[in-house]
Amino acid sequence: MNLSPLQKARYEYSPKLPGMLRGGISEISVKVGAPTESVADQAKIKALFPNTYGKEEITFVKGSNTSAAKKQVVGVILSGGQAPGGHNVICGLYDAIKATDKNNVLLGFKGGPSGLIDDDYIEFTDEYINQYRNTGGFDIIGSGRTKLETEEQFKIVTEVAKKHGLTAIVIIGGDDSNTNAAVLAEYMAAHDTGVQVIGCPKTIDGDLKNEDIEASFGFDTATKTYSELIGNIERDANSAKKYWHFIKVMGRSASHVALECALETQPNICLIGEEVAAKKMSLAQITNYIADSVEKRGNNGENFGVAIIPEGIVEFVPEFSKLIAEINELLAGKKTEEFNALPNWAAKYEFIKKGLSGESFAVFDILPEFVQQQLFLERDPHGNVQVSLIESEKLFSEMVKAELAKRKAAGTYKGKFGQQHHFFGYEGRCAFPSNFDADYCYSLGYNAFMLIQYGYTGYLSKVSNISKPAEEWVAGGMPITKMMNMERRNGEDKPVIRKALVELDGAPFKYFEAHREEWAEKTCFTYPGAIQYFGPAEVCDLTTRTLALEKGE
């Protein structure tokens, strides 16, 4: 295998563990905290999780290891979209397993949860694991989006676990995956299988976050990667001085990525979906907000700028959400076939006009035609609009262009408007993890095995105080049920982990809010540059601006 110099060097990097996990497995003890309850709907969650609800939070401390010795055979899966650092979670888990007893076994089930169902696995060895240390991607065993949620699936997983003598399963994933981990843990406990289930918090979107999870892994690396690219574009914009760059970034349900990139790069415009929803902003209001910045800068001779757009922005616009809901209803059942059979867009347009309310059609009609058509592309498995297919960066640049034409005709806008469009998504999902993510993920994996060794199930591997140097990090675990509430999903009330949205009264947003007016008019760009792996800690181990502001640093 041909390796780049950086890849060789990253293999040799030794991830830093929290202080209490250093010095040997035999020196790790456990401190039991208070019992927990779910964030909402306590009675309902307790009823659904009678065997795993209300358990205590725990913290690992220096002391004598009092866990019962037994051979451990652990299965691990990667679930959902890729996030930098996933390999290191598995490496940390493997190292802790083998440090405890070299006869312990770690099985990696391939392709996500379906690997558990299909019994498709690999037994990890030193030689195999060493190829993936401190590298990006999920290619060590692959990932998938199959959900473990049915009785039939649980029975199959139980049989696979029994076949291999599994003592525990570790699920590395986001909010949905860890919800499934909690449900699987409850099933295993209720049926007295002896199989523990532990979750690890992953998502570059940053929405698996709460008072216990200060950051999900991968968010640091992904936002640093996007911020480097945005900074490069800002420098190009400031050099060429002739384009406005509309940049869409990841974040379907929350705007954490957009906000962090804005804090890193200080663009002229950054839309925050949660603010759009709170203020009930219309498409026209958003368009005018961006156009005001373009006009002021253009009239000052600065015909360039950068606008950051979260991937899911349109879902936060109330009138657009209503439009999407009506379209979903319009194409319900066999009506999709009827719509697709129409001969051309003109016929489809008339079908849409008849089927929508006057209010929603008015919104539909102001959209550029390419966006109108994107709303009627292939549906998701539930028959709904795939909002991620909407090119919102192009939507707003076209609407701003039309608004500026009106202003030019009125004589208020004297500049020139050129557009460029970008979408940064895949570019950040498999990047070489930053030192922070390499350390954090390795610690999560190592810590996950300590939870297994001490007999916990239905717990999330938790590493906190992570804005400080790794020596000061705190390792432990919390019951996954603590994060859960009931939500309506596909016509049913289901227990799910509550998504964390951008808090409009939180320090990161408040800092952005205090500076954005200046950024909108002036050129205040900052250029973060590439992720640094070697050098002083204040450069290489730097945390996100979001986390630093949340911690008052």
Neighbouring C-beta atoms of residue 238, cutoff 10 Å: 15
Quick check: 247 and 210 in contact, CB under 8 A?
no
Q: Which positions are catalytic? A: 205
Q: Dihedral, CA atoms, 524, 529, 532, 534, nearest 10 degrees?
A: -100
* Residue recorded with tokens 């319009």: 330
- Phi first, then psi, for residue 13 (nearest 5°) are -70, 135
Contacts of 367 (CB under 8 A, 6+ apart): 283, 375, 395
- What is residue 456's DSSP assignment? -
487: three-class secondary structure by DSSP: strand
CA distances (Å), origin 389, targets 203, 251, 375, 384, 395: 20, 13, 8, 12, 12
Contacts of 37 (CB under 8 A, 6+ apart): 46, 53, 54, 482
d(CA 384, CA 328) in angstroms, rounded, equals: 5
- Phi first, then psi, for residue 80 (nearest 5°) are 85, -160
d(CA 454, CA 448) in angstroms, rounded, equals: 10
d(CA 460, CA 457) in angstroms, rounded, equals: 9
- Paired with 551 in beta bridges are none
Contacts of 341 (CB under 8 A, 6+ apart): none
- Encode burial over 351-384: b for 16+ CB neighbours within 10 A, e otherwise: bbeebbeeebeebbeebbeebbebbbeeeeeeee
d(CA 46, CA 50) in angstroms, rounded, equals: 6
Tokens of 298: 């253009």
d(CA 414, CA 151) in angstroms, rounded, equals: 65
Q: Name all contacts of 484-488 with Cβ < 8 Å and 24+ positions apart.
A: 484/38, 484/39, 484/41, 484/45, 484/179, 484/182, 485/38, 485/39, 485/40, 485/41, 485/45, 486/40, 486/41, 486/44, 486/45
**Among 113, 188, 229, 236, residue whose Cα is nearest residue 531:** 229
According to DSSP, the β-strands at 244-249 and 419-424 are: parallel
